[in-house]
Structure 1
Amino acid sequence: MRGVACAGGTMSRRRRRDRRGQDEREVIPQRAEELTAEWFTQILATGATVAEVRCEEIGVDVGFMGEVHRCHLTWEQFAGGGGAAALPASVIVKTPTQIPENFAAGDALRSYEREIAVYQKLRTTLGVPMPGYYHGAMDPDPAPWMQRPLFFLFDHLSVSGINWVIGQFLKLSGKSKRRYILLIEDFADARPPTQMLGGSLDDARRSLEVLARFHAANWMRSDATQHYRYIWPVDTVPRVGQASYVRNRDEFVERFGPVLGDGMLDRLDAIQERVPEICSLLAAEPWTLLHGDFRLDNVLFRPNGEMVVLDFQGLGSGRPAVDVAYFITTALTVE
Structure 2
Amino acid sequence: MTAFVDDPAEVTPAWLTEVLRAGGADVEVARLRFEPIGTGQTGASYRFHLDVRPERGGADARVPRTVVLKMAAGPEKVRKRLAPGYRSEVGFYRTFASSAAIRVPRCWSAEMSPDARSFTLVLEDAHPALPGRQTEGCTLAQATAAVRNLAGLHASFWNDERLDHGSSWLRSLDASGMAIMAKMLAKATAAFVDRYRAELSPEDVDTLHRTAGAVADWGRHTFTRRTLIHGDYRLDNLMFGPEDDVLAVDWQTLEAGFPARDLAYFLSTALPPEIRRPHEEVLVGAYHERLVHHGVADYPAELCFDDYRRGMLQGPLITVIGCISASGPRTADSDRMFLSMAAHTCAAIRELGTLDLLSA
Could you state the TM-score of these two structures normalised by the residue count of structure 1? 0.73
Separation in 1, partners of 2:37, 2:117: 23
Q: Which residue matches 2:93?
A: 119
Match of 1:57 among 36, 42, 64: 36
Separation in 2, partners of 1:250, 1:217: 38
Q: For the Cα contact (< 8 Å) 1:50–1:73, is it kept in 2?
A: yes
Of residues 127-136 and 177-186 in structure 1, the stretch that sits farther from structure 2 once superposed is: 177-186
Shift of 1:103: 2.3
1:239 is aligned to 2:213:
no
Shift of 1:77: 2.9
Match of 1:70 among 34, 47, 51: 47
Provide the aligned C-alpha RMSD in A: 2.4
Shift of 1:122: 1.5
Shift of 1:203: 0.8
Alpha-carbon spacing, 1:250–1:39, altered in 2? closer, same or farther (3 Å)? same
1:94 is aligned to 2:33:
no
- Give the ranges of 4+ consecutive aligned residues of structure 1 lying more than 6 Å apart after TM superposition: none
1:133 is aligned to 2:107:
yes
Shift of 1:47: 4.9
Q: Which residue matches 1:307?
A: 246
Separation in 2, partners of 1:209, 1:126: 13
Q: Which residue matches 1:40?
A: 16
Shift of 1:244: 2.5
Q: Which residue matches 2:169?
A: 230
Q: For the Cα contact (< 8 Å) 2:100–2:152, is it kept in 1?
A: no
1:132-151 superposed matches below 5 A: 132-141=106-115
Shift of 1:260: 2.0
Q: Secondary structure of 2:206's partner?
A: helix
Q: Secondary structure of 1:223's partner?
A: helix
Separation in 1, partners of 2:37, 2:27: 27
Output one character per residue of 1:193-250: Cα deviation in whole Å (capped at 9) or x when no partner. Answer: 2112111111111211111232222211111332422322344622332333344345
Output one character per residue of 1:296-316: Cα deviation in whole Å (capped at 9) or x when no partner. Answer: 122222226643221222221
Q: Which residue matches 1:328?
A: 267
Amino acid at match of 2:204: M
Q: For the Cα contact (< 8 Å) 2:178–2:215, is it kept in 1?
A: yes
Separation in 2, partners of 1:183, 1:96: 13
1:1-335 superposed matches below 5 A: 26-45=2-21, 46-60=25-39, 63-78=40-55, 83-107=59-83, 110-141=84-115, 178-235=117-174, 237-282=177-222, 284-303=223-242, 306-335=245-274
Q: Secondary structure of 1:188's partner?
A: coil
Q: For the Cα contact (< 8 Å) 2:130–2:240, is it kept in 1?
A: yes
| Runs of 5+ unmatched residues, structure 2 | 275-360
Amino acid at match of 1:58: I
Shift of 1:95: 0.7
The percentage of aligned residue pairs carrying the same residue is 29
Separation in 2, partners of 1:103, 1:178: 5
Shift of 1:324: 1.0
Of residues 258-267 and 196-205 in structure 1, the stretch that sits farther from structure 2 once superposed is: 258-267
Q: Which residue matches 2:325?
A: none
Q: Secondary structure of 1:55's partner?
A: strand
Q: Secondary structure of 2:231's partner?
A: coil
Separation in 2, partners of 1:77, 1:125: 34
Output one character per residue of 1:247-283: Cα deviation in whole Å (capped at 9) or x when no partner. Answer: 434542233212223343233223323322113422x
| Runs of 5+ unmatched residues, structure 1 | 1-24, 142-176
Output one character per residue of 1:34-82: Cα deviation in whole Å (capped at 9) or x when no partner. Answer: 122221122112454322222111112xx22111111111123327x85
Q: Secondary structure of 2:161's partner?
A: coil
Amino acid at match of 1:232: R
Separation in 1, partners of 2:6, 2:37: 15
Larger radius of gyration: 1
Amino acid at match of 2:47: R
